[in-house]
Structure 1
């Protein structure tokens, strides 16, 4: 039986799309009491049994924690209505990609503790990685957020916001890149004759085991690749294609750089708002 997650009071989720919904799934699986959660979303659709779901901000309580889970472009639309209800002790958590801490403080001057968090989709099965960044010195607020996010997998603090952004780019966006690679791997196997459903299943199972080994091994991924590849063997023949002219490395660098550049554009848009 799960030990219930202890939070200091009501948790409000502003928006509950793919990522916020995955986080909620992970928290509920880890033992969070649904009665402590209120979801505010335009549709009013309940994301899980026992979760109070409303279309406007409740007037019967003040949140101890409030998480912004809408699209970053919606920030200036929702901020004016939310800012007045946040007390000094409310912990504001933002999972809005590309929105800097200064941009959040300019819109939400009330809370002492504002925390940026960047989860990835596996938080829904408690196997995620969540980067955290804040400028608050409130040790209890930091501990409360860390305990909540650690229930989703691994929670890591970054004191430098630039490093937070780079790490977020790797762990939050890269699962999509990995899924695309697995899709291509399965499609290629199917083209060579393996039944498509079987190819997809085997690719996913292979990745699960390989990633678990890489996460627990003292060897680097490059060293592990050399362990798999026997000289002159089938694996080495495939690696020779991936390694030709650093093709894979160059492709991944361009991929991550494109993602990072888009994050910078979103940050610049938030800075340019009249709110700042």
Structure 2
């Protein structure tokens, strides 16, 4: 991180993901004077944050974090392309934009790290998977430190695994939100007021997720611990985990469909 402080850190795009990362960096003590932000429509908080906002960039910043939407990449890259072909690392959180695309636009040999975060990063509870080209290997610790401001990070064996990550953790929050909606609707159907059913569903999923994450026991053991023989939980699980149309098969098909679509979008 010392290199980032001395040479500078550039953030291109300060939407939801960019803002979450920047807020985490500043709260952790990273100096605002070492950050340059490029954003066409900055909010008031950004203007008051102390960062260099839409100013001339340092000659050779340590890292450029690209946090724009894929559809505006063609507009964003020309303004920073002169930083390619050197020792400035490009860290992209843009979905679907491959390392090869950056190398083509910025020049062969440019250090590039591709990251796949998910939306809980907005509250510091995200998880981000990263892959890189050979030139960026030495920059991975700094990238992990920056992404750690919004949650956990995992290193992939290669970029080919990004499609699976996109389908599992990238799209995964939507699956969980759908589960909450379904649980709340089921509770309401059993006679609970709608607002109470939703509150119970949200707290149950949130609490169970945190318990699974913090426990030293695997989810299978936690599931068995709460399942009394011939009790209510067992009755419910017999339906949820049925061989015919159970949760395992449904989730498997869900993730497979999302992964297939991710592969289609990059081709």
**SS of 1:151 mapped into structure 2:** helix
Alignment match of 2:65 (pick from 67, 72, 81): 67
**SS of 1:171 mapped into structure 2:** helix
Distance 1:127 1:143, change over 3 A: same
Partner of 1:153: 151
Contact 1:83-1:110 at 8 Å conserved across structures: no
Paired residue total: 262
Partner of 2:161: 163
Q: How does 1:53-202 map onto structure 2 within 5 Å?
A: 54=53, 58-62=55-59, 63-86=61-84, 88-109=86-107, 112-137=110-135, 140-202=138-200
Shift of 1:94: 0.7
- For 1:10 and 1:23, the matched residues in 2 are separated by 16
TM-score normalised to the size of structure 1?
A: 0.82
Distance 1:157 1:73, change over 3 A: same
- For 2:234 and 2:151, the matched residues in 1 are separated by 34
- For 1:169 and 1:74, the matched residues in 2 are separated by 23
- For 1:110 and 1:58, the matched residues in 2 are separated by 27
Distance 1:190 1:18, change over 3 A: farther
Task: Name stretches of at least 5 consecutive residues in structure 1 with no aligned partner.
Answer: 269-276
Q: Determine if the alignment matches structure 1 residue 262 to structure 2 residue 257.
A: no
Which digits, 9 at most, give the CA deviation of each residue in 1:2-52, with x for residues without a partner? xxx753443222222233333233333333333333332232334544154
**SS of 2:29 mapped into structure 1:** coil
4+ long deviations beyond 6 Å? none
Contact 1:186-1:200 at 8 Å conserved across structures: yes
Deviates more, 1:38-47 or 1:68-77: 38-47
- For 2:23 and 2:118, the matched residues in 1 are separated by 13
Partner of 2:249: 250
Distance 1:231 1:205, change over 3 A: same
- For 2:157 and 2:221, the matched residues in 1 are separated by 31
- For 2:179 and 2:52, the matched residues in 1 are separated by 37
Shift of 1:105: 0.7
Shift of 1:191: 3.6
Distance 1:222 1:258, change over 3 A: same
- For 1:31 and 1:179, the matched residues in 2 are separated by 33
Distance 1:139 1:45, change over 3 A: same
Which digits, 9 at most, give the CA deviation of each residue in 1:63-117, with x for residues without a partner? 3321121221222333233212446121101111122211221111177321011
Task: Name stretches of at least 5 consecutive residues in structure 2 with no aligned partner.
Answer: none
Partner of 1:14: 12
Shift of 1:264: 1.2
Contact 1:116-1:132 at 8 Å conserved across structures: yes
Contact 2:85-2:106 at 8 Å conserved across structures: no
Deviates more, 1:69-78 or 1:211-220: 211-220
Q: What is the Cα-based RMSD across aligned positions, in Å?
A: 2.6
